[in-house]
Structure 1
């Protein structure tokens, strides 16, 4: 949840700090504007944080790093992921990187086993920075949270929302906080249940040491056992990466990624077609209740599910509604829009596949549009599905399957997503694929598109799966035009 928007003054100041004497030239003649338009340039540095994957001795984790090829980047650069070692000084660089990509456009993978794998801190520079993404996928064959758990490593930030967490007796939910910096971060965690804010036992916040991670068990923060909880993470000082690991005694588990910032309209994309149970969790942080129109974007258009056409969300309280097998055998997405006045809301879906003792869970938070470009790594030849939704207007998108981590040739195809529909895309196949590959989605024309990728893997009779959203990678940034003016050094 980067926030790249800068004021003009801040942007100029940042440029001046880099060049030493870059300034914007004022118009030479009154009424004559010679200012140049801002340029879209690739970002030159990206940070990502991966939470510790599991405490289970049975866990098998794969990390996959990918950077799409971006025009206009520098010819040099590097990317690497290292263990979050803790300590009070700069990160210990003695150990070898867990991952160290060699070329943009080709994924690279690494593995970890057992419950002692650390959190990772990653940095990409130069040609590896724009659109850098890292996927961590963990297979757990037995015990609480058994199944497939997947998470996109996140950029550090100062605020996160997680609808869909729980403090119920059959859930073991942790919020993982990872600090990439040289100084400690102080973090507040607020929990909101069905009746409002829950009293926690951390009034002074949680201190996360430099280059370290802190997993916090939510059920230890409050006395109340609640099925549906919204977690709000804010940072008093410093910055962190945050993700919630939601583990169920019977229904498997997965990571809950941070939801899109509070907004009056939301899209929760990519419910698998064989989902047997879908639960919507929503929360409004504002001072007013929210009344929302609830629709399913199906392959043929928007549908109002019978009995759940609207949702009322009380201010400051977590609301939840069971939607059952809403997709009816077809991939779909939930679209929320205000029925009257606009009130900001955050939301997520808990999705279940399977029946009886063979059920597995994943989470789909509301997500930002794909925008210019978005990528997701670690796709397999048979276990990957991509769903794209165009909620307000027909759009064209280009989907590229990268070369494989072990070899192969990239392939691309353009698709049209009709207004109000969700389409499960037949993925372009990399020629001669070996290993796993990355998917990159680019908006070509039309309205906003929201997307998610589902990974599936059979674990006996358990339909193990995990879902990751594809928000804009923000691989470019607007830079105000500037010119050297040595005269400033003489003033």
Structure 2
């Protein structure tokens, strides 16, 4: 050994090796801190998706209502890689393996729908082949009276293992139900952690829930967390995958129905949170925030309005106790303007916004979402009032390209839109008697976006309030490894 070390070349190699080892350990033990500031999105990572499985929720039976699921395999940007093979149809069908399809997506760019049903049921959009890439769907139910009055509409959900919801309640004027759909052929096991304005609740009966294969399980929140004004839920699957949705019923003081809708999943708690698309017009706007951490959160709140960002007087800084959920009324702050909400916190938080029409007869919620890093697709149901796309640039000036197409794939409205730094820009889409689909592609900067539907306060029709967030298509989401993780859609 001593003779080897006496060789200068050997000693030099050993030194180089030692430096490399130390350097490697430094990389592992001293990683760079993540940058949570908004950044201009880079060119999206494109993944080949050749299977899809989406769960489309449905309200409970009651009153005179119709429900429909519409889906599309959207037109993709030129050069987007897709799976090889024939364009086998994607089916819109009930959960049972023996059920016949109720509708199909036959051709890319053309919308397919299930027949309007008076007895709603959870449906799925599933299939393999080239049409799976980018496929999206929306479940919509409309009732003119009864407990389901108004419009309840939500995007079909990709199954997963970890979800957050903010904005639930078991107050006397609310009746909320968590639905857990298992599209797979094996059972799933789920734990639900519940937070309230009093902190994290001890709810053993919400843990170890078993959701049988190809079925939907309902957890009535008032049975596990009675008389809680504000709630946040953390759903974690310990085996299998689920697609959760939070069905929300509201009543007025005289016990008459005040609408039903879905509270969508929000992003995981973060120190930077963006809630898009506060609908313009009259009515209440309530921000619900959750702090699941063990420390009090100090939150800086910014409104991204049409004329730029501002700090609302008296609400520039909000303190949220550890483990707590709280609501802030932003009705007067927003002045009826289309707006986004930016939250910067010293502890990870998440949020959603509840929007109620002027008459108090219908409502919708929209949850915090991530900035777009590639094209986002959304199927819009038929609507009697103009729908409003709202694009917010929470940081620097940004731009997007939008394209609205009819059921046959014909472009109805296409344009490029610049968004001033810190502001929200709105684009109106005319009322449509049939479903359409929207593409929003971020081209510069960081943007968050959503579409809202708020009725004309002068109309005598049954109010139809809805909100749909926009998120980057799975085809363009950055993957954690060399291969895309699409296991949620493979079972």
Same fold (TM over 0.5): yes
In structure 2, the CA distance between the partners of 1:124 and 1:397, relative to structure 1 (3 Å rule), is farther
| TM-score calculated relative to the size of structure 2 | 0.81
- Of residues 215, 218, 234, the one that matches 1:215 is 218
**By percentage of residues, which structure has more helix?**
2
Gapped regions of structure 1 (runs ≥ 5): 1-37, 86-90, 482-491
Q: Distance in 2 between matches of 1:310 and 1:441?
A: 32
Q: Distance in 2 between matches of 1:203 and 1:423?
A: 41
Contact 2:55 2:157 (C-alpha < 8 Å) held by counterparts: yes
**SS in structure 1 at match of 2:464:** strand
Are positions 1:158 and 2:157 aligned together?
no
The equivalent residue for 1:181 is 184
Q: Deviations for 1:428-457, whole angstroms, at most 9, x for unmatched residues?
A: x89xx8732101000112x21111111356
Are positions 1:200 and 2:198 aligned together?
no
Contact 1:406 1:436 (C-alpha < 8 Å) held by counterparts: no
The equivalent residue for 2:107 is 103
- Of residues 111, 117, 122, the one that matches 1:119 is 122
User: By how many angstroms is 1:153 displaced?
Assistant: 0.8
The equivalent residue for 2:353 is 349
User: By how many angstroms is 1:407 displaced?
Assistant: 6.9
The equivalent residue for 2:443 is 444
Q: Distance in 2 between matches of 1:457 and 1:103?
A: 33
User: By how many angstroms is 1:461 displaced?
Assistant: 5.1
The equivalent residue for 1:83 is 94
Q: Distance in 1 between matches of 2:235 and 2:213?
A: 18
Q: Distance in 1 between matches of 2:246 and 2:283?
A: 23
The 5-angstrom pairing of residues 183-332 of structure 1 reads: 183-202=186-205, 204-222=207-225, 224-250=226-252, 251-332=258-339
Are positions 1:129 and 2:135 aligned together?
no
Q: Distance in 2 between matches of 1:192 and 1:375?
A: 32
Q: Deviations for 1:305-331, whole angstroms, at most 9, x for unmatched residues?
A: 122222212121112222223321321
Q: Deviations for 1:143-166, whole angstroms, at most 9, x for unmatched residues?
A: 334211111010101111111000
Contact 1:405 1:434 (C-alpha < 8 Å) held by counterparts: no
In structure 2, the CA distance between the partners of 1:434 and 1:60, relative to structure 1 (3 Å rule), is closer
User: By how many angstroms is 1:283 displaced?
Assistant: 1.2
The equivalent residue for 2:34 is none
**By percentage of residues, which structure has more strand?**
1
Contact 2:56 2:69 (C-alpha < 8 Å) held by counterparts: no
Are positions 1:140 and 2:139 aligned together?
no
Contact 1:176 1:245 (C-alpha < 8 Å) held by counterparts: yes
| TM-score calculated relative to the size of structure 1 | 0.81
Q: Deviations for 1:289-345, whole angstroms, at most 9, x for unmatched residues?
A: 21111111111100111222222121211122222233213211111113xxx3211
Q: Distance in 1 between matches of 2:482 and 2:216?
A: 37
**SS in structure 2 at match of 1:96:** coil
The equivalent residue for 2:404 is 401
Aligned Cα RMSD in Å? 2.4
The equivalent residue for 1:46 is 52
User: By how many angstroms is 1:242 displaced?
Assistant: 0.2
**Greater C-alpha Rg:** 2
Please say which of residues 67-76 and 447-456 is displaced more in the overlay. Answer: 67-76
Gapped regions of structure 2 (runs ≥ 5): 1-43, 253-257, 484-491
